[in-house]
Each structure stands twice: as structure tokens, then as C-alpha cells.
């Protein structure tokens, strides 16, 4: 059994998110340099997602604060009502863009005839299925487990156990593939699930952890 993370692993979140912001800024007539915005927003978003995983903020706060803080740091005045509108427009438009990482289709085509494939994601349920459907990869996966249906987020063992139960799998015959060392890799390993880190961001990872820089390299661990 293979369990995949979705964002930053199969679905190229950074590229698709940038295109979404470009679209919604044009829609709402926000005059801003996209690259300057993303330079501030991307690390803020990662920091707020970490707080969200740790249950220190809720979904509504995540959506609002990451934008509000970015505009404040850029010293661009954007009203509260507009920030709320942008946060909604962002979610509504995000799955319209569906760039996948290199060799996503190739590795899924290779794995599908031999293994059962599943998704475990911390992403919002209202957009994750749209991403899978619109990117035309939904048919590869037998189950999709998202954190909102379970009530906890990776790396909490409950979400992995829920996914295992849905897939009728056990830890001994399962492999987790994801980009986030804390949520995907440590979360799986602590439960006894084998894990492979898609280290496209070239972070320093413990030498004992299996890593790939390109998804097609998963083949070498089979």
C-alpha cells in the first residue's frame, strides 16, 4: 500500500498558489508585485500551517492571518473585508490550477497496476477533492483521508490509523510518501510505517531517512 501526501508532493502547491494569487489580485484590482508578495507570504503561510497542525489556531484564523500579516509586512493597506474576500477567492480558485510535479503521472502509472494507492492530507476537504479531480489523478487513489474528517492532522497517529483502516492496510505493508519531514515522515515512522521523503526543497534530512529528489526515484526503493 502506498499513502501519498497531496500538496507539495504530487500537486505543485507553490506554482498553483502563485497563479491563484495572480488571478485573484487581478479580480480584486489589488496593485501589488506578485514576487514581492510571495517572498513575504510563503514563509508566513508555512509558519501558520505549523500552528494549524499543532491546533494552536483554527482554519479561519489561518486563512485570514497569513494574508493580513503579509500585507502588513509589505506596508500595503488592505481592509479587513477585502482580506476576507481574498481568503475566500483564494480557496475558490486554487484548484483551477493543476500543475503536478515532474513525473507524477509516470510514477502513478507505474505503481497503480502493482499496488493500492491512497491519499493522506492535512489540506481543507473542500479543495483537496477538487485538486485531485481537476488534475485528473483522482482515479489512481482508492481512498482519500483528510484531517477534517478525522479531527486531527498529521503527524497525529490517529489520522494515519484512520487511513490504514479505510484502506484495510497495516503498518507492515504500507509506505508513506510526503515532503514534510515532521508531518509526513516522522508521523509515519513513529507509527512503524515505512516512509520516503520527497525532498524537492533540498532540506537537510536525517541520513537514516529514505529520500528522493524526483518522484520517479521511488522505484529504487521497491
DSSP-derived secondary structure letter, 117: E
Fold equal for 2-12+98-221 and 13-94: no
- Crossing angle, helix 34-53 and helix 13-27, to 10 degrees? 120
Fold of 13-94: DNA polymerase; domain 1 (1.10.150)
Q: How far apart are CA 80 and CA 201, in angstroms?
A: 33
Cα separations (Å) of 34 from 18, 25, 31, 38, 172?
Answer: 8, 9, 9, 6, 45
Residue carrying the nine cell digits 514534510: 180
Distance CA 23, CA 26 (A): 5
Helix residue spans in 135-215 (DSSP H): 147-150, 157-167, 187-189
Helices (H), the chain: 13-27, 34-53, 59-73, 80-94, 104-111, 125-134, 147-150, 157-167, 187-189
83 within 8 A of 66, measured Cβ to Cβ = no
Residue-level pLDDT at 207: 87
pLDDT at site 203: 87
**pLDDT at residue 151 in the model:** 92
Pseudo-torsion of CA 27, 50, 175, 164, nearest 10°?
Answer: -90
Q: Determine whether domain 2-12+98-221 maps to CATH 3.40.50.1000.
A: yes
For the four alpha carbons of 70, 123, 62 and 49, in that order, the dihedral sign comes to negative
Chunked in runs of 10, what are the mean pLDDT values of the chain (222 residues)?
A: 97 97 97 97 95 93 97 96 97 95 98 98 89 96 95 96 96 97 96 97 89 97 92
pTM: 0.92
Place of cell 481537476: 134
Grid cell 481543507 — which residue? 124
So what's the pLDDT on residue 204? 87
Q: Are 183 and 163 in contact (CB under 8 A)?
A: no
- Structural domain boundaries of the chain? 2-12+98-221, 13-94
Q: How far apart are CA 95 and CA 13, in angstroms?
A: 10
Amino acid at each position: 500500500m502506498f499513502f501519498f501526501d497531496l500538496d507539495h508532493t504530487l500537486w505543485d502547491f507553490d506554482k498553483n498558489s502563485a497563479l491563484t494569487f495572480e488571478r485573484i489580485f487581478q479580480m480584486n484590482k489589488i496593485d501589488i508585485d506578485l514576487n514581492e508578495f510571495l517572498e513575504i507570504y510563503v514563509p508566513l503561510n508555512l509558519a501558520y500551517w505549523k500552528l494549524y497542525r499543532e491546533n494552536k489556531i483554527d482554519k479561519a484564523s489561518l486563512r485570514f492571518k497569513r494574508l493580513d500579516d503579509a500585507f502588513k509586512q509589505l506596508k500595503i493597506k488592505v481592509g479587513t473585508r477585502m482580506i476576507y474576500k481574498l481568503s475566500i477567492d483564494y480557496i475558490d480558485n486554487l484548484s483551477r490550477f493543476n500543475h503536478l510535479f515532474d513525473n507524477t503521472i509516470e510514477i502513478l502509472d507505474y505503481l497503480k497496476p502493482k499496488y493500492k494507492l491512497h491519499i493522506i492530507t492535512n489540506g481543507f476537504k473542500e479543495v483537496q477533492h477538487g485538486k485531485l479531480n481537476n488534475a485528473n489523478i483522482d482515479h489512481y487513489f482508492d481512498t482519500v483521508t483528510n484531517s477534517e474528517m478525522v479531527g486531527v492532522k498529521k503527524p497525529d497517529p490517529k489520522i494515519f490509523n484512520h487511513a490504514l483502516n479505510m484502506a484495510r492496510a497495516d503498518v507492515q505493508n504500507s509506505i508513506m510518501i510526503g515532503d514534510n519531514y515532521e508531518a509526513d515522515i516522522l508521523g509515519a515512522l513513529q507509527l512503524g510505517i515505512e516512509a520516503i521523503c520527497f525532498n524537492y526543497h533540498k532540506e537537510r534530512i536525517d541520513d537514516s531517512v529514505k529520500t528522493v529528489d524526483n518522484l520517479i526515484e521511488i522505484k529504487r526503493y521497491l
